[in-house]
Amino acid sequence: MKSPVLLTFILALLVTFATPLAVPQENSLERRGPYDNACPPVKTISGWMRYAKNWDGSKAVFWTADSDANDAKDFARHICGTYYYDLMDDMQWVQWEVVCTNQDEKAKLIPRASQAMAMATKDTAFIMIQEGAFHDRPSSTWWNVEYPILLENKVKVIAVNPREPGSHIAECKSIRLGDGG
């Protein structure tokens, strides 16, 4: 007699857990709070670069006007250094782009990652920048985000002409900041 009662109890339990719960149809991502789908903060990204990617912060290669990621990549390979996509090109980065569905937050992701790389950089950094090139400083991530952090952290910054990467043009501290050159 215990078997039918036990069997009934087990069946009732299975039906209870197997039945899906109804979800209100009005539930949408648009109604969430502003931080529900926020991108990771700079400190999270910076820590991930150092620990998850096992990067010691040395020989970071940045790029700006009249240069691109390929110039930075080639130079980083030449000096056994690290450039942005060495740190950010994998599944964790892709997941962050998926999680950051709020467009205001998504627009902040690349500048945050650039800021995080600058924060994690130690000792020496290189900037791929063509001598005499015009720099749109108001919109430049290098001049407005990365370079000030490197200066604050007392990182030595060496400018490298992407057209002649074998000859460093100058230390960035000698580049005049007010003349557009």
Give residue 13's pLDDT: 61
Give residue 54's pLDDT: 84
User: Contacts for 171-176 with beta carbons within 8 Å, 24 or more apart?
Assistant: 172/127, 172/147
Q: Which residue has the tokens 């200066």?
A: 151
Give residue 162's pLDDT: 84
pLDDT in tens, 98-117: 667 667 766 777 788 889 99
Task: Give the CA distances from residue 60 to residues 15, 81, 122, 141, in Å, rounded to whole numbers and listed in that order.
Answer: 58, 6, 8, 15
pLDDT in tens, 51-98: 877 889 999 999 887 788 889 998 888 888 888 888 877 645 556 666
Task: Please give the model's pTM, rounded to 2 decimal places.
Answer: 0.65
Give residue 67's pLDDT: 83
Give residue 30's pLDDT: 43
> For 41-56, what is the mean pLDDT?
84
In the chain, what are the domain boundaries?
43-173
CA 120/CA 122 separation, integer angstroms:
6
> For 166-179, what is the mean pLDDT?
43
CA 146/CA 89 separation, integer angstroms:
19
- Which of these, 52, 146, 40, 39, lies nearest to 90 by C-alpha position? 52
Give residue 150's pLDDT: 95
pLDDT in tens, 123-162: 999 998 877 766 666 678 888 889 999 999 999 999 888 8
CA 24/CA 2 separation, integer angstroms:
40
Give residue 32's pLDDT: 45
Give residue 125's pLDDT: 94
Sign of CA dihedral 24, 28, 31, 34: positive
